[in-house]
Amino acid sequence: MAPKAPLNKNKEPKPVDPVTGLTVGNRLPCKWRNEEQRLCEIIDIKTVDEISSYYVHYVDFDRRLDEWVSVDKLNIEAFKAGENGDLNGENSQPGTSKPSGPDAPSVVGEDGGAKVERKVTRNMKRKFNEMNHVDEAEHDPQTAALEKEHEEITKVKNVEVIEFGKFEVDTWYFSPYPEEFTKDTSKLYICEFCLKYMRKKKTMERHKLKCDMRHPPGDEIYRDDNISFFEVDGKKQKIYCQNLCLIAKLFLDHKTLYYDVEPFLFYILCVRDDFGCHMVGYFSKEKFSAEDYNLACILTLPPYQRKGYGKLLIAFSYELSKKEEKVGSPEKPLSDLGKLSYRSYWKYVLLDILRKHKGNLSIKDLSKLTSIKPEDIISTLNSLNLLKYWKGQHIISVTPKIIDDHVKKTSKQEMDIEPSKLHWTPFPITKK
């Protein structure tokens, strides 16, 4: 019998700001980056030297945007006027988000009151769940309790900024770094080569003089121009991989792999220069996956996002699947950015093959050529209206003009994997 999720029945009293009277759970307008006001929910309050700061979640936005704000950012007059719905937070769940989309965010009107939100109908909810691979079974009471507990534990970021190589990076989410490294500080210093983390800059400066690593541990299995991929075994390089997962958790909301890294292989994408191999991102995969997943977790570090590296990581995962002579698919659910990257990659690859190929192709043919799972091919072609269902089978229905029209709308792959430069043999699986 599965253990029940521990629930805290003895609720602690909510923090209250004695000056403003605001408390955790209150919703009110907050001045955002472009000076317009957005509806926010207070998640936590801290007071230092009699000055209060508020950790807020912007309603209908991803938790990565949660932040500490000062009282001057909050529209307390609107709060007192009762223009923001559930002001006392009795029916709210701090830190939760609704499905985001072009119609979802709660924008506050010029008078400080919240504009009317679109109602989420059952049909919209069903479509959202289908698009995001949300299984109804995920909503059972035990899972819901675990999810609520996860959000409670991770609702406030414990690290605001990391210094990583030449970059200072704002973090997005909580990561379970030891409390002695995060208490009374908002910044961590992380060595970009060995991934060791430190509290103080002077400690980092001393570490740089001693650290002789200039690339990830493990084997370099791909090199092309200034791009390299390294394969790192979680069992052989346990500390490195655990530290990698801690970094990843700063930018992935629902990543749960922190310490159990032994069953996984990690593929680190680096850019090379005269000073070493600088980590751009990575993906992990199980050494043996009964579900034929070819990717467990994927991350492109924020300074390298929107430059094509995410698709390069995805392309590399499928190149490994081709070497294994298997079809593969990423573990679900994907993050919001992961979904966008995969959908874009699948569109590009499938349209490119359909454009170049002369003659008919089946779903099975496309899967064999790309190592993409048939289900992912079907969902992608369906989204492009390129499939017909006839006599119990999916038939690809295209013309050169339709393909060309879609190709023009699809973002091109900035970088490609050159298969001849991959030097790799599949991990040996010994079945007991």
Residues classed as catalytic: 331
Encoded amino acid at 203, one letter: T
Task: Look up residue 236 and give its two tokens.
Answer: 């052989």
State the DSSP string of 263-315.
TEEEEEEEEEETTEEEEEEEEEEESS-TT-EEESEEEE-GGGTTTTHHHHHHH
Handedness of CA 106, 112, 116, 122 (dihedral sign): positive
DSSP designation for 422: B
Inter-residue contact 259 to 242 (CB < 8 Å): yes
Inter-residue contact 111 to 48 (CB < 8 Å): no
Q: How far apart are alpha carbons 313 and 307 in whole angstroms? A: 12
- CB count in 10 Å sphere of residue 236: 11
Q: From 370, 304, 367, select the one nearest 337 (Cα to Cα).
A: 304
Q: Please list the helix, strand and coil fractions of the chain in percent, rounded to the nearest 5, in that order.
A: 30, 25, 45
* Strand 276-286 relative to strand 293-295, pairing: unpaired
Instruction: Please report, to the nearest 10 degrees, the dihedral formed by the alpha carbons of residues 181, 187, 190, 192 taken in order.
Output: 170
- How far is residue 351 from each of residues 144, 160, 342, 398, 412, measured CA to CA in Å? 39, 41, 14, 10, 11
State the DSSP string of 74-124.
B-HHHHHTT-SS-TT-TT--TT--PPPSTT-S-BBPTTSPBPPPPP--HHH
DSSP designation for 19: T
Q: From 421, 415, 171, select the one nearest 309 (Cα to Cα).
A: 415
Q: How far apart are alpha carbons 181 and 158 in whole angstroms? A: 10
Inter-residue contact 94 to 25 (CB < 8 Å): yes
Q: How far apart are alpha carbons 13 and 50 in whole angstroms? A: 20
Q: How far apart are alpha carbons 197 and 188 in whole angstroms? A: 7
